[in-house]
Structure 1
Amino acid sequence: MIFARIKWLYAVIVIFSGMTLMIVTFYLLPKPYAVKFSAWFIRLLVFVPVQIKGSPDPDAQMYLINHQSDIDIGIMETITSKDLAWVAKKELFKVPFFGLVVRLPKDIALERESKTALVKLIKDCKDRLDHGRVITIFPEGTRTETGQMKPFKAGAKMVADKFSLKVQPVVLIATAWHFSNKRKIFNSGTMTAIYLDSFVADKSNPEWLNETREKMQHMYDSALLELPRYH
């Protein structure tokens, strides 16, 4: 138990150091290299190779990703060269220190349960798209460590429908087994990230977001069966 806590504490220190590195180098490196550099710093020091399945679409304008762990962002940043614009709850932008991590790269603040905030979300997403960035969302809206994805929030669909975005789902497998702040655990080892086929958002289909969730859940469940370490 003590050794497990030490491993977790080591990972926390590495993650904190990586975020500090991003803040320090942000104005020294071209965008988005400070973010990528810090993400690679974390990945290499916590010894988590990533096996990538499927093919990233070079024309993708939005990524939808399931969310289990604090390291999900770092994993995604290292498996794509794209400049990602993360959508995160507004409260995170006000947290000391961590607020800088999301404010400096101009990630997108989302105020939950607010209709007026959705107007700002649309405007901010348009700005990031105009600058060649990829809108990146955890559509569940929060972490879940069970492997059962929560219902997807409507914000992702609203943005994708508004701009007819090319959407690519990405499924991360059992990242909470590798790192969980809630359970204070850390396990190194190879992670798996799966790019699903991309598609253009079709607002005439009101169910495409739910259908995407079902496809992502099916892929997650199938991949998990092939990875006995997580059983």
Structure 2
Amino acid sequence: MIRFILCVIVVVGFLILSIPILLVEWIIGKFNPMAKEISSLRIVQAVFRFILWVAGVKLTVIGEENVPTDTPVLYIGNHRSFFDVPITYPRCPIRTGYIAKKEMEKVPLLSTWMKRLHCLFLDRKDIKQGLKTILAAIEKVKSGISICIFPEGTRSKNEDELDMLPFHEGSFKIATKTNCPIIPMAISGSADIWESHFPRIKKTHVILEYGKPIYVDQLEKEDKKHLGAYTQNIIHEMLVKNRAQL
């Protein structure tokens, strides 16, 4: 329970103490918007790294060379834990927004930081609003901002992490409409940090592997029609391969 309490203290403490930081960055943004955005990115990345350290997460990263550093991408990953964001976000080389559930927008200060970091909020119950979110994500990519989405739609609570929920095909319109590369992410072991033995946080080894970029225009016609299943198969293969290393 000590790690859980410490993580809560870090998160709540940062949100409260960051109020003057938000003000300073707002002023900076009036003169240099890009400097403000990069500053926000690096601050939150540092906080997430500290949270992982407090939680006792030993992170092994594979295939990071597959992530382009000079162009926006669409990150696609499996989703098992609330820690999946702190695990993946510090590795983003450029501005990156995550697509989160609509309920997160109601959390004070947290939603302020999320909006500042180009996160978008998806209403999973409203198809029309969901489409608007995807269209907004397309515009983000066109403006040079990467997008990360977990296309299972929610955290998979299946006992076996290889048993993923189906990937929603609509998520992949972000790539098909912008021609940005898709970066498959396989996150192994993240549920063992917290969810598998809630409410305790345990020292855990997690593996994050990035697959080779998928360029939609280079795929066979059948694979283009089923991008969700195609990408999920790649992630599944990485999860199987890395299971023995946990």
TM-score by length of 2: 0.79
Contact 1:170 1:193 in 2 (8 A): yes
Q: Say which structure is richer in helix.
A: 2
CA distance in 2, matches of 1:74, 1:130: 25
1:175 has 2:190 as partner? yes
1:69 deviates by 1.2
In structure 2, the partner of 1:56 is 66
In structure 2, the partner of 1:73 is 85
Q: 1:26–1:56: structure 2 CA closer, same or farther, 3 Å change rule?
A: farther
Amino acid at match of 1:92: M
1:18 deviates by 4.3
Contact 2:96 2:117 in 1 (8 A): no
In structure 2, the partner of 1:6 is 2
TM-score by length of 1: 0.83
1:177 deviates by 0.4
Moved more, 166-175 or 102-111: 102-111
In structure 2, the partner of 1:46 is 55
Among residues 121, 146, 150, which one is paired with 1:109 in the alignment?
Answer: 121
In structure 1, the partner of 2:171 is 156
CA distance in 1, matches of 2:169, 2:11: 30
Among residues 233, 237, 242, which one is paired with 1:218 in the alignment?
Answer: 237
1:140 deviates by 0.8
Q: 1:156–1:119: structure 2 CA closer, same or farther, 3 Å change rule?
A: closer
Q: 1:171–1:15: structure 2 CA closer, same or farther, 3 Å change rule?
A: farther
CA distance in 2, matches of 1:72, 1:80: 13
Contact 2:78 2:186 in 1 (8 A): yes
Q: 1:23–1:154: structure 2 CA closer, same or farther, 3 Å change rule?
A: farther
1:132 deviates by 1.8
How much is the aligned-residue C-alpha RMSD, in angstroms? Answer: 2.5
Contact 1:86 1:107 in 2 (8 A): yes
Unpaired runs of 5+ residues, structure 1, are none
Contact 1:26 1:35 in 2 (8 A): no
Among residues 11, 25, 43, which one is paired with 1:34 in the alignment?
Answer: 43
Q: Secondary structure at the match of 1:64?
A: strand
Q: 1:24–1:12: structure 2 CA closer, same or farther, 3 Å change rule?
A: same
Amino acid at match of 2:67: D
Q: 1:27–1:37: structure 2 CA closer, same or farther, 3 Å change rule?
A: farther
CA distance in 1, matches of 2:90, 2:116: 18
1:121 deviates by 2.1
Q: Secondary structure at the match of 2:118?
A: coil
Contact 1:60 1:168 in 2 (8 A): no
Among residues 217, 222, 228, which one is paired with 1:209 in the alignment?
Answer: 228
1:196 deviates by 0.7
Once the two structures are superposed, what CA deviation does each residue of 1:12-31 show, in whole Å capped at 9, x if it has no partner? 33343345555653454532
Q: 1:140–1:216: structure 2 CA closer, same or farther, 3 Å change rule?
A: same
1:186 deviates by 1.0
1:194 has 2:204 as partner? no
